[in-house]
Structure 1
Amino acid sequence: MLQRLRDYKAEVFARWSLRHCTSVGDAPRCRALPLIENRGTLKIGDHFSLWSHLGRSQLAVGAGGLLTIGDNVFINSATTISAQAIVAIGNNVQIANWVSILDSDFHGLIDRDTPAPAEAICIEDDVWIATKATVLKGVTIARGAVVAAGSVVTRDVEAYTLVGGVPARPIRKIGPHPAILS
C-alpha cells in the first residue's frame, strides 16, 4: 500500500513537472524539477524518466519545432535537448549526464542577428549516449549505437557502432546490447 502511494506521488510530480509538454505517456518519472520550454510540439512516450537532481535538465522546443521521445527513455541530469526544427528520439534510449543535443547553431558566426538553419536529428532505438557527449544538427544515430563520453557527433553513426572523439569517429562494431533491449 505504501509503495503504491509513493508511486502515485511520483507520477503526479512527474506529470506536473512535464505539464508544458504536448503529450506525455504512461508512468513518467522526474527526479527534481526540469526546465521545459515548449513553443512547438513536445511528445513523450510511456515509461519516460528525466532526472534533474545533479543539474537541471532542459527540453526546449522552438516555435514550430518538434521533439518526440519514445517509450522507455531515460535522460539523466543536466542534459539539454533543443529542437528548433525536429529532434526524434526512439525507444529504449539511454542519455547520460551533461549531454547536449542541438539541431541548430541558433545564430550565424558573423551576423548574430540572423538565425542559423536547423537540421533534423534522429536518434533511433536502443542508443546509448554517454556523459558530456554533444550531438549536433543534421545527425542520425542508428539503432544500437553507442556514443562515448565527451564525444562530439557531427555526422551520421551506423547501427551497432561505438563512436568516440572530437569529432566522433567509429571505434568498432558492437553487437546488440541485451541490457538495453530487455
Structure 2
Amino acid sequence: MVFFSCAKVGKMVTMRGFARVEGGGSIIIGDYVKIWSHIGKTQLSVGKGALLSIGDHTFINTGVIISVRSKVSIGKYCQIANQVIIMDNDFHGVENRDTPEIPQPIIIEDNVWLATRCMILKGVTIGKGAVVAAGAVVTKDVPPYTLVGGVPAKIIRTIQPDVVA
C-alpha cells in the first residue's frame, strides 16, 4: 500500500489502484478518504519539508496530480474529479528559467468541488462550498459558495449553500 510514506492516515481510507507517491515531505490523510488511481495514475509529489493534508470524507478521482513544495491543504467533504492538477509552485521563473520560483500555499476549504481537468495554481484559496468548472485555470482566490470557470477562472455566479435543519 502507498500509505507507508504518510505521516498520518485516518480510519477507513480506501485506494483503488496504485497511486504514485514521492518526495520527502509529510502527507496527512483524514478519515474516510477515497483515492482512485485505476484508469490514470494519481500522483502525489510532496517535496522535502512540504505538507499535503487531505480532510475527512474527501474523494480524489483517477489521474489527479498534486505537486507540493510548500503546503497544500484540502478540506473535508471535497470532490476532486479526474485529471485535476494542483500545484503550489512553478518550478522555474518566466524570464530566467534557471531561477527557482518561491512556492505559495494552496488552501482548499470544505465542501469544494473541482471538476474535470481544472488547474489550481500557487497561492490560491478556494472558499467553502465553491465549485470550479471543468477546464478552468484558477490563478486567484475563489470566494465561498461561488461557481468559477474559464481561463483564467472568473466568477460565473453565486451558489446557495445547503441549509441543514
- TM range, smaller chain: over 0.9
The aligned counterpart of 2:107 is 122
The aligned counterpart of 1:49 is 34
Deviation at 1:110, TM superposition (A): 3.7
The aligned counterpart of 1:166 is 151
Which one has the bigger helix percentage? 1
- TM-score norm. by structure 1 comes to 0.87
Correspondence list, 1:1-182, <5 A: 16-177=1-162
Aligned equivalents of 1:56 and 1:117: distance in 2? 27
Moved over 2 A (4+): 109-114
Give the SS at the match of 2:4. Answer: coil
Structure label with greater radius of gyration: 1
Deviation at 1:111, TM superposition (A): 3.2
AA aligned to 2:76 is N
Cα deviation per residue 1:3-41 (whole Å; 9 max; x = unaligned)? xxxxxxxxxxxxx22221111100011110000113111
Counting matched residue pairs gives: 164
- Structure 1: gaps spanning 5 or more residues: 1-15
Aligned equivalents of 1:21 and 1:96: distance in 2? 22
Give the SS at the match of 1:172. Answer: strand
Identity %: 52
- Structure 2: gaps spanning 5 or more residues: none
CA RMSD of aligned residues (A): 1.3
Aligned equivalents of 2:20 and 2:162: distance in 1? 31
Which one has the bigger strand percentage? 2
